[in-house]
A and B are shown apart, each in its own frame.
Chain A
């Protein structure tokens, strides 16, 4: 007599917005035997049962014992946990149960703001639900360091469902994949679901990007309706730093290079300090490689979530080095990052004049922008346009900024 069982998800007193699913199949299991314990039984018990039966029908499973312990999981979470358990039992027949698209997503612009990107551990759905309300420029559903190896498969399904079900409220939809070869599985699961940007960890050589490009090309061929994703390679080693320019130029999909200092400082055999002298070279390399390749440079995360002053200083320093963005691990960091990246009054006043001169030149059909007797170079105009853009976005200036003096 053979009995097989599998489980997925999380249970326990502290678990919120998640569920645990246990499955048993075997010769003496006949029919569907569902045992549901839900914290929201009164409000959504019936709808959860309906979902379970629908999924079992979809996977053509007729004989199974299924136990669901629900602590307020949203439907996309329930679906992910149930599918994960079914796939672990290897009775999924290669099928995939997708939640409906709940929101419409537009492809993000290549050179959009990427000042803040918030990491969300890919196996903690509780943190997904409201992350976007804190208005980061990007939300990273992380499959790499924040997910324990035994949960990788389950997290991958959860992240896929989250891409289809969560309101990102304009934040760029990012996923950090694992290193290859595990990263291939991540790509297979994620790419068909309109992810904007893939963060690629621990990149040291341009070849790594080319490998990923090949896989992504294949997946795009099979999924014509999805987004062609951008990449943000993360440089986390001495070799990566020295190859930064090659890496930056290795794919047209790359829109930014990020630096990860935890691993980098370990690699060069030192410790991170607040002054950051040990990483000055690496950070400057990343900035210069990025700018030479015409992409953005993104600084490492600031990991002390209680030190907002330290964060602010760190962002001001990053900005002065030429970085365009900073990583964060707590929603309260986002506002501080945006404020610190915001242009000063002096910068705004200078750039306002440049933009007005640029608009004037355009209106008059002149090829050259000049301010007084000085010619303004195109990169300066571009930066000025960006300054005004950020100032508008942050509410520092109003729509009528042209009229102010």
Chain B
């Protein structure tokens, strides 16, 4: 097969596509290099005359709701990942669409999980044309091996909001899974068997989609309070027996990593933040629920207690560790984008200082500011980092799609960005000459903390000066790379990838920063 792509080289030096699935896109122009113009997208004007005056928008089934929304070939259907790997709803939606004989849909999830493996069958039978959203597990493999008809587009959480707001992605039908809702369509994630905390990822969809369906297994009489999703945006409400498997939505308790190496890395990162003068009264930080990030928060908590330091706000990924910090008075607020365990859900339900947020408030690049850039320190993971501090979070070093971008790109705008990562995983060096896929430009990544040393981006002379004379093992990124290669037994071979482009990676401003090629 030959692929006559019209490619372009973007400002990061990456050869990319500008026309994807028949739509035009803008190449990456460098960090802060692109300014949007024009007006935001808008959904059609509706009248309350066309909705039940008693506020009861219930219909019998998802299939019925889709039919009433006028589903037809080629439409864009969105879902959200609040229920993570426990989600039943996305599979129900596409089974229903298949039952209606609809073809060539674009699935626009905020993220997909291994539980969505059945969508492969709908990609095969033509119900779904392609996916725009993170992919891993069986879907990631399907896309990586070039089997998907269309090209995938991966966006950050903020980039997804931006794409919808800017009209780059027009959602025909948004389906919102709601752990708790009323017949009017007000919904939240705080109560019910599938309680997940918040519904922030669905905000853009509720505001901009032509049609909005709320699916719940826990209907309360009007009013459902708080209304994280406002019923005034909602067309139909569907009751189902269960929207998800609670054990896979949030964990009962989040387990801290037991790996001594990861703990050491997290401890070093926390120590770095202290010694660099970042951890001080009134500061703010973001740490997710990934093993090392979580451990970072736990070590930071010890440091804060010992030095009598209090944060103004913490951005989560909340877990019981963050809620304990809130309850101990170590932070005034948690601004939560995604709740990871039952303690997080409980805290959000009970504590007014545990505030739910959305990609609009936290991450949207085409807004009048966002929270991510106000964070003093952000701790993130990466599958690969190169000697230019560029980082990859979406592909494995063999080129296979592995993770979504999540809020990762958006958080790079924090004041100091620390990546605590191992120097190698098994025999896979993590610090390399050039990342397989460019997801985060090196100019936004400040510190790499590995178990064998800390590299500070030469652009951050202030940090280099701040930790001079401390016991921290500061080294150059070149030295770390060489050590990784020495331990792993030489320079790894580059993966030989196919010609076919299977996915495009968006930057936070909607431009194309890189593409992913087929794995042979």
Question: Which B residues are CB-close (under 8 A) to A74?
Answer: 427, 487-489
Question: Which A residues are CB-close (under 8 A) to B260?
Answer: 130, 134, 330-332
The reply to whether B451 and A130 contact each other, CB–CB distance below 8 Å, is yes
* Dominant secondary structure of chain B at its interface with chain A: loop
Residue of chain A at shortest CB distance from B451: A133
Question: Which A residues are CB-close (under 8 A) to B399?
Answer: 42
Query: Among B187-195, B241-249, B403-411, B490-498, which stretch is in contact with chain A?
Result: B490-498
Judge whether B334 is part of the interface by a CB distance below 8 angstroms: no
Question: Which A residues are CB-close (under 8 A) to B425?
Answer: 72
With A43-B493, A44-B493, A74-B488 known as contacts, the answer to whether A133 contacts B426 (CB < 8 A) is: no
With A47-B489, A102-B486, A133-B452 known as contacts, the answer to whether A40 contacts B428 (CB < 8 A) is: yes
The reply to whether B426 and A72 contact each other, CB–CB distance below 8 Å, is yes
Judge whether A46 is part of the interface by a CB distance below 8 angstroms: yes
Within 8 A of A (CB), among B242-274: 260-261, 263-264
Partner pick for A129 among B397, B471, B487, B492, CB 8 A cutoff:
B487
Within 8 A of A (CB), among B441-488: 451-452, 471, 486-488
The reply to whether A43 and B398 contact each other, CB–CB distance below 8 Å, is yes
A42 to B496 Cα, complex, angstroms: 8
Judge whether A39 is part of the interface by a CB distance below 8 angstroms: yes
With A43-B397, A43-B398, A72-B428 known as contacts, the answer to whether A130 contacts B489 (CB < 8 A) is: no
The reply to whether A133 and B495 contact each other, CB–CB distance below 8 Å, is no
Question: Which B residues are CB-close (under 8 A) to A73?
Answer: 427
A45 to B490 Cα, complex, angstroms: 12
* Dominant secondary structure of chain A at its interface with chain B: loop
Judge whether A387 is part of the interface by a CB distance below 8 angstroms: no
The reply to whether B471 and A42 contact each other, CB–CB distance below 8 Å, is no
A46 to B486 Cα, complex, angstroms: 17
Tally chain A residues at the interface, Cβ within 8 Å: 25
Question: Which A residues are CB-close (under 8 A) to B492?
Answer: 40, 43-44
Residue of chain B at shortest CB distance from A332: B260
Residue of chain B at shortest CB distance from A333: B260
Question: Which B residues are CB-close (under 8 A) to A16?
Answer: 426
Give the Cβ gap from A139 to chain B, nearest Cβ, in Å: 13
Question: Which B residues are CB-close (under 8 A) to A75?
Answer: 489
Within 8 A of B (CB), among A130-160: 130, 133-134
The reply to whether B426 and A40 contact each other, CB–CB distance below 8 Å, is yes
CB 8 Å contact bits of A364-404 with B (1 = contact, 0 = none): 00000000000000000000000000000001000000000
Question: Which B residues are CB-close (under 8 A) to A332?
Answer: 260, 263
Question: Which B residues are CB-close (under 8 A) to A331?
Answer: 260-261, 264
The reply to whether B427 and A44 contact each other, CB–CB distance below 8 Å, is yes
Judge whether A17 is part of the interface by a CB distance below 8 angstroms: yes
A160 to B493 Cα, complex, angstroms: 28
Counting from the closest, the 5 A-B pairs by CB-CB distance are A72-B426, A43-B492, A331-B260, A72-B427, A42-B398
> What 18 new A-B contacts, CB under 8 Å, besides A42-B398, A130-B261?
A39-B426, A40-B426, A40-B428, A40-B492, A42-B399, A42-B496, A43-B398, A43-B428, A44-B488, A47-B493, A72-B426, A72-B427, A73-B427, A130-B260, A133-B452, A134-B260, A330-B260, A331-B261
Give 9 A-B contacts (CB < 8 Å), ordered by A residue. A42-B397, A42-B496, A43-B427, A45-B493, A72-B426, A129-B487, A133-B264, A133-B452, A332-B260
